[in-house]
Amino acid sequence: MELITLRGIEKTYQMGDIAVPVLKGISLAIRQGELVALTGSSGSGKSTLMNILGCLDHPSTGEYWLDGQEVSRLSTDERALLRNRKLGFVFQSFNLLARTSALENVAMPLSYTAEHLSDRAARERAAEMLARVGLADRLDHHPSQLSGGQQQRVAIARALINHPPVLFADEPTGNLDSRTSEEVLQMFERLNIEDGITIIMVTHDPKVASHAQRVIRMDDGVILDEASSGGPGRESKGGGA
């Protein structure tokens, strides 16, 4: 079943009088349960595509079907609601709230959900999520008391709190050393396999991309090529369209 379908997505930014096309007709289908890496050099449009996929932005033209719903023409508020229910985000710089416990950081998205959870239920759910990322003993730690890998795991727990079908990770290992990177990536793989969560990562690191089953390479606003899972380093040069 296809969770995400893009048809002819274009995005053009208006810089004064000049129209700058960033995405030039992207069509893409991502099935449920896939672990996809989106790679490309900087300026290739992968971040813009990510923003559109993540419903932070809407395309200039084209269709975007997410979970059987056309979302490219939704209003700002409708998109916020959609992000809350169906999408999870993990950022390069973690973006945890400073001086706020891990538990409260994880529970934060719940305050924007339509279904009002009681305070206790929210905390229980947050604790459960933290346990799932292996931080059951760090509930009351503040971000400054956690290592980079732990912080990113808190961020992952936060992204999963609403049980979204899709998780977006924007350079999730960009601020981590290779060992903790590996930990985080393994966590992604586990979530992907065990819970069937669709994960879409943006990365320019081939080593990170190698963890994905499917690598989509972008260049200058179009999809250059796609490769299904293979050995590390092989898809860095691309294996043909």
Residues found near other proteins in the complex (CB under 8 A): 51, 54, 56-57, 76-77, 80-81, 83-85, 89, 91, 95, 97-100, 104, 108-109, 111-113, 116, 158-159, 162
Which of the 8 DSSP states describes residue 97?
P
| Listed residue (180, 186, 132) closest to 160, CA to CA | 132
Contact 130, 136 (CB under 8 A): yes
Nearer to other proteins, 154 or 227 (CB): 154
CB of 101 to other proteins, least distance (A): 10
Rounded CA-CA distance 69/30 in Å is 14
Within the chain, how many helices (H) and strands (E) appear?
A: 7, 10
From the number of C-beta atoms within 10 Å of its C-beta (0-12, 13-18, 19+), residue 37 rates as: buried
Contact 35, 189 (CB under 8 A): yes
Nearer to other proteins, 116 or 179 (CB): 116
Nearer to other proteins, 77 or 194 (CB): 77
Nearer to other proteins, 56 or 224 (CB): 56
Nearer to other proteins, 89 or 188 (CB): 89
Rounded CA-CA distance 214/210 in Å is 9
Rounded CA-CA distance 118/97 in Å is 21
Nearer to other proteins, 112 or 177 (CB): 112
Rounded CA-CA distance 241/225 in Å is 5
CB of 145 to other proteins, least distance (A): 15
CB of 209 to other proteins, least distance (A): 22
